[in-house]
Structure 1
């Protein structure tokens, strides 16, 4: 139930299984309410700044487009900075004591793979950070500018987010069912609030955005096809 810290002493940790060895583990010092409030406050700030920017660039922006621009700006920040932090520091996560490190260690109560350098988690988060992160910023900007390129990129990134999330869920449950792996603490809060709900946003919202862009792309192709047919008829 313990792991060695850098000074050679033993500190109990809150992760499962209890006998999990976490080299260099340092316990969190920031209270959980402050960690959660900090994350929520940062997300709220991103939404506020994006809203101001979007209304400045396109005063007539619709509510749906404003929400989409805010969503992708938040995705860009989370993917590139927060998940990018994990991708860069994945080999030393148990010892990290800065704000992002403690946020990840709090989340790891629902999935200890983030502290054990799990190969899938590291690779998935690295791709998410450095592919979907920058593209999310670009999509947010394209939405604000009402640029048509927004729709194919929105489909691609949203599909990538959903695919990564589905694999993330699937491997978690597969390892539990087949190998008896224990990744989450037994309290239902960590499973439902951290693991299910927080990750669920990246299935539900991308799914809606894929549907939205598919409708718009289909309309565009139908318009071109009909215009082509009318032109061909006149030419005959």
Structure 2
């Protein structure tokens, strides 16, 4: 007599709550250190390529502009390719076994909404991939070229990143407090390193960039106003 095959949806998994049903779930096979190293190496490659490109196009680029260009090129890659991957495959994330799929499943230990096709997460990541991804690449190029259009676009995209991140945090904590939802594993590492720190970059850095672009915008308008006043005085 043979026993019935196990139900994939009830397979043992590391996500919380433990009784969470994940249809088609397949455990990760790539070790966590290799997953994290792969992601870090890819980010490092983007930084290196952007640095070489920026210094070739604009040898006298400032450190601030160089960092800004590197940041937006990294954002473009993460938004368009990594988050775009989630937007495309969100319905089957528990079963994904390629590198991006396993990276998302590792991150989902801090937020299991990425494996349950949560409506907010899917919509937020889709907008991020479609809108902020291409615009981030454009801003990176405009920064390298020292084009003034970078400032309004930098403010718009940075504000959009911050807004999405605030909503992401807010809904997480609201559901936890009001509905007693459990999204993250109990270990502090997943909450602080994955959920808080990894997302916190998209609040702190965009906030700084908004401030810098606002300062430059104010300076530009002040110069225009002063020029108009001088012109009016001469005309009189």
Q: TM-score range by the shorter chain?
A: over 0.9
**TM-score (norm. length: structure 2):** 0.97
1:55 match: 55
- Rounded to whole Å, the distance in 2 between the matches of 1:132 and 1:71 is 13
- Rounded to whole Å, the distance in 1 between the matches of 2:217 and 2:138 is 19
1:25 match: 25
Say if 2:186 is the partner of 1:194: no
2:90 match: 90
**TM-score (norm. length: structure 1):** 0.97
Aligned length: 231
2:41 match: 41
SS in 1 for 2:19: coil
Tell whether the 8 Å contact from 1:4 to 1:22 is kept in structure 2 after alignment: no
SS in 2 for 1:24: coil
Q: How does 1:101-112 map to 2 (within 5 A)?
A: 101-112=101-112
Q: How does 1:117-136 map to 2 (within 5 A)?
A: 117-136=117-136
* Deviation of the 1:11 alpha carbon: 2.3
Deviations 1:195-235 (A, max 9, x none): 00000000000000000000000000000001001101111
Q: How does 1:129-208 map to 2 (within 5 A)?
A: 129-208=129-208
- Rounded to whole Å, the distance in 2 between the matches of 1:182 and 1:133 is 30
- Rounded to whole Å, the distance in 2 between the matches of 1:149 and 1:4 is 55
- Rounded to whole Å, the distance in 1 between the matches of 2:223 and 2:126 is 39
- Gaps spanning 5+ residues in structure 2: where? 1-5
* Deviation of the 1:4 alpha carbon: 3.5
1:114 match: 114
- Rounded to whole Å, the distance in 1 between the matches of 2:15 and 2:205 is 30
SS in 2 for 1:186: coil
- Gaps spanning 5+ residues in structure 1: where? none
Q: What is the aligned-residue RMSD (CA, Å)?
A: 0.9
List 4+ stretches of structure 1 deviating above 2 A.
none
2:72 match: 72
- Rounded to whole Å, the distance in 2 between the matches of 1:174 and 1:69 is 35
